[in-house]
């Protein structure tokens, strides 16, 4: 088409080609002089604005098609970025404004405005523009979808969180109920069985006094008294397990020590307990003390059942305002699960959370196990 540009450019055919190009493009193209008046507009551009080219030529383009913002507030001519092109002698690209049609409607437009130079002098500007309403609409739809999605995710997260909170509250509530139930059963056992055992013991003692010189019967009676004593001991242990009275009488720290002493006397484990005096004075409140006691009970049961350890040590210390209790064994260890699914560990975690604490297990197969219970801000 443009085989020999030099010769062609002086030819009428060249101008014809230019005309064809301008009229065939999908973009609007117009030129303005320094006063902003239209010196040329192509057919597609005029049509996009609802005019014929003849109707536009000579008109001030700012007042004709660019006079207002999308919200219909006026755009003063000194703010017009199309005019900037020749005021500042450089190009300007814009895609966040609208152009106005003859019928008073507007469309989202993208335009580029460049100065027209005659040698060194700027004599006007050439503007290309296109209708980007569809693109804008798609962008808006996309944004709306994104916002909707985000809202949905937020709503779902909130629902999950609230379900989680409810479960946690339920779990804490069940814990309290269980403790109350245990206390209730303990009271019943204590009152009913305790009184009966005492009466039985007294009667057996009285009977013993009535049977002098009957060694066979006396031996029998002694065995009965021994059985009664054993049953009383067992009952006391069960009672203590149901409701750790030592917690009420001696406080948490002594109660924990007695748990370790029990373990030591029942097993071959070497048990150690470290609790500095300043920590010993720290009281946590009845609820929290029961929770800590139950957690330690479960930790020690686990050591006994799973660890095959030679020694276990418990340390309580204050770290700033936090209380840190750790139970450490030198047993077989385990692979710690990020999300525990066994009830012992789950229960301990929940108990810890219900009193505002956190339980962390640290273990490797073959490297022992350390549990750390941290209660923040209690001291
Ligand atoms: N101190 C420990 N040493 C070794 N393994 C342990 C220890 N504590 C817990 N485990 C392992 O973690 C598992 C889960 O413990 P837990 O939730 O208390 O359930 P359970 O004691 O009923 O098996 C145990 O089965 C055991 O394999
Ligand atoms: Mg367990």
pLDDT (tens digit per residue) in 193-247: 888 999 999 999 999 999 888 899 999 999 999 999 999 999 988 888 888 888 8
- Which pLDDT belongs to residue 6? 57
- Ligand 1 atom closest to Cα of residue 333: 4
- The Cα–Cα gap between 203 and 14 comes to 133
pLDDT band at 2 (very low <50, low <70, confident <90, very high): very low
Contacts of 125 (CB under 8 A, 6+ apart): 31, 32, 82, 83, 85, 86, 113, 114, 115, 116
- Which pLDDT belongs to residue 4? 54
Question: Could you report the per-residue pLDDT of 14-50, keeping only the tens digit for each?
Answer: 888 888 999 999 999 999 999 999 999 999 999 999 9
- Which pLDDT belongs to residue 278? 85
Alpha helices in the chain (DSSP H): 5-8, 12-24, 43-49, 53-56, 61-65, 81-87, 133-209, 215-242, 245-250, 252-266, 277-280, 286-302, 343-354
What is the 345 CA–ligand 2 centroid distance (Å)?
A: 7
Contacts of 145 (CB under 8 A, 6+ apart): none
- Which pLDDT belongs to residue 1? 41
- Which pLDDT belongs to residue 10? 65
Q: Of all protein residues, whose CA lies closest to atom 13 belonging to ligand 1?
A: 342
**Probe target for ligand 1 pocket from 309, 334, 362, with the most ligand atoms within 8 Å of CB:** 334
Q: Of all protein residues, whose CA lies closest to atom 16 belonging to ligand 1?
A: 344
SS3 state at 212 = coil
Q: Which ligand is nearest to the CA of 297?
A: 2
- The Cα–Cα gap between 85 and 116 comes to 9
- The Cα–Cα gap between 116 and 309 comes to 90
At 13, list the tokens: 């055919």
CATH of domain 5-131: 3.30.450.20
Asked whether 303 lines ligand 1 (CB < 6 A), one says: yes
Asked if the domains at 5-131 and 246-375 fall in one CATH topology, the answer is no
Q: What is the CB neighbour count within 10 angstroms for residue 297?
A: 18
Contacts of 268 (CB under 8 A, 6+ apart): 310
**pTM metric for this prediction:** 0.62
Q: Which ligand is nearest to the CA of 269?
A: 1
As residues whose CB is below 5 A from the ion ligand 2, the structure lists 302, 344
Q: What is the mean pLDDT of residues 266-293?
A: 90
Asked whether 92 lines ligand 1 (CB < 6 A), one says: no
Average pLDDT over all residues of the chain: 91
Per-domain boundaries in the chain: 5-131, 143-222, 246-375
Give 181-205 as a 3 state SS string.
HHHHHHHHHHHHHHHHHHHHHHHHH
Asked whether 306 lines ligand 1 (CB < 6 A), one says: yes
Contacts of 269 (CB under 8 A, 6+ apart): 263, 303, 304, 309, 310, 311, 312
90 touches 96 (CB < 8 A): no
Q: What is the CB neighbour count within 10 angstroms for residue 141?
A: 10
Q: What is the mean pLDDT of residues 128-141?
A: 95
At 114, list the tokens: 């460049």
Among the four given CATH numbers 1.10.10.10, 3.10.450.50, 3.30.565.10, 3.40.50.970, the one describing domain 246-375:
3.30.565.10
At 298, list the tokens: 């479960």
- Which pLDDT belongs to residue 7? 60
What is the 90 CA–ligand 1 centroid distance (Å)?
A: 75
Q: Which ligand is nearest to the CA of 307?
A: 1
Give me the percent of the chain exceeding a pLDDT of 90.
67
What is the 302 CA–ligand 1 centroid distance (Å)?
A: 5
- Which pLDDT belongs to residue 15? 85
228 touches 201 (CB < 8 A): yes
- The Cα–Cα gap between 53 and 40 comes to 8
């Amino acid at each position: 088409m443009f085989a020999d540009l030099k010769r062609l450019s002086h030819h009428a055919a060249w101008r014809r080609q230019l005309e064809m190009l301008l009229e065939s493009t999908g973009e609007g193209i117009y030129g303005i002089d320094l006063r902003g008046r239209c010196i040329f507009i192509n057919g597609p551009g005029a049509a996009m604005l609802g005019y014929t080219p003849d109707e536009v030529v000579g008109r001030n383009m700012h007042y004709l098609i660019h006079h207002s913002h999308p919200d219909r507030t006026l755009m003063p001519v000194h703010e017009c970025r199309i005019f900037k092109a020749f005021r500042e002698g450089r190009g300007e690209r814009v895609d966040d404004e609208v152009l106005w049609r003859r019928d008073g409607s507007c469309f989202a437009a993208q335009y580029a405005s460049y100065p027209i130079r005659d040698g060194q002098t700027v004599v006007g500007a050439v503007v290309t523009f296109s209708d980007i309403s569809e693109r804008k609409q798609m962008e808006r739809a996309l944004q709306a979808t994104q916002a909707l999605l985000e809202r949905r995710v937020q709503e779902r997260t909130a629902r999950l969180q609230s379900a989680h909170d409810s479960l946690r509250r339920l779990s804490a509530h069940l814990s309290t109920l269980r403790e109350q139930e245990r206390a209730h059963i303990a009271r019943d056992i204590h009152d009913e069985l305790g009184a009966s055992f005492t009466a039985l013991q007294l009667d057996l003692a009285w009977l013993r006094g009535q049977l002098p010189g009957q060694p066979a019967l006396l031996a029998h009676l002694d065995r009965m008294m021994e059985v009664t004593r054993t049953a009383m001991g067992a009952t006391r242990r069960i009672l203590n397990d149901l409701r750790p009275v030592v917690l009420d009488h001696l406080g948490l720290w002594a109660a924990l020590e007695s748990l370790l002493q029990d373990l030591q006397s029942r097993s071959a484990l070497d048990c150690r307990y470290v609790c500095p005096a300043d920590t010993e004075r720290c009281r946590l409140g009845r609820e929290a003390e029961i929770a800590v006691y139950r957690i330690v009970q479960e930790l020690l049961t686990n050591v006994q059942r799973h660890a095959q350890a030679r020694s276990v040590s418990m340390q309580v210390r204050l770290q700033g305002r936090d209380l840190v209790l750790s139970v450490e064994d030198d047993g077989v260890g385990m692979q710690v699960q990020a999300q525990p699914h066994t009830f012992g560990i789950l229960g301990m975690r929940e108990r810890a959370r219900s009193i505002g604490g956190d339980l962390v297990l640290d273990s490797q197969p073959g490297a022992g196990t350390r549990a750390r219970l941290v209660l923040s801000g209690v001291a």
